[in-house]
Structure 1
Amino acid sequence: MTTPRPFAPLSTRLSPSRLPVRGRPAASAPDAEGLRTELSLAREEIRALRAERDTLAKKVALLLGGQLEQAPHERLVARIHELESAAADLRSQADAERQRADKATDCATALGTIALKVFSELVVIVV
């Protein structure tokens, strides 16, 4: 007998001897032992199907849970990298502005010194 598909209709998975009573020919009457066997087999199949369902549900939950946990984590890591890059750019700009300000201060000091010399020479010339 070939392996039945797990979600095929029950009548296609059962051998003719396991068909429900209404599917059997009228000539054969079910006996109590046969019905007990059928019930036992059906219960085993139900247990196996429930176990398979539970296993699959756990796998899906773990897979989805992992995806849900990873998505925010990955976004946060990406955002941290963006912020670190922006902070590095701002530090670089601040250093450049400090250097520019230092240069402007040096130029102002030099101009002040030159102006003082020119003024003192003018005073000497005028006096």
Structure 2
Amino acid sequence: MATFDYADMQATAHELIEEFGQAGVVTRLEPPDPVYGGDPVPTPYPATLVPMAYEARYVDGTVILSGDMQIYISAVGLAIEPTVGDVVNANGAEYAIVAGDPNKYDGITPVVFIVQGRSVA
């Protein structure tokens, strides 16, 4: 049985996100130095992404709130895996990641990152 080429699927997802999406930034707060302390350091990572509002039928008021965004982030060229605690800058607004799915169907290759973003403001 032939194996599926997830790298090809990742490339296709990237092409679609690049065509229909926008440039954005995923910012991660790096912890302070364990010895010297200090404040967490925000580290920005450029990304290509597509932010979309959730359909009304998915907004339940507990897990998904009104104003939450479903954000598709291309895995190509992104140095980190977006996770809870990171902040995504899209549409001129900041969204804290409250849930995410790396879509690693083979357990290795992230095809696309799909995250739930909640407005920081």
Q: Give yes or no for TM over 0.5.
A: no
Q: Please classify the TM superposition score into its range, dividing by the shorter chain length.
A: under 0.3
Question: When you count strand as a share of all residues, which structure comes out higher?
Answer: 2
TM-score, normalised with respect to structure 1: 0.15
TM-score, normalised with respect to structure 2: 0.16
Question: When you count helix as a share of all residues, which structure comes out higher?
Answer: 1
Larger Rg belongs to: 1
Between 1 and 2, higher relative CO (CA 8 Å, sep ≥ 6) is seen in 2
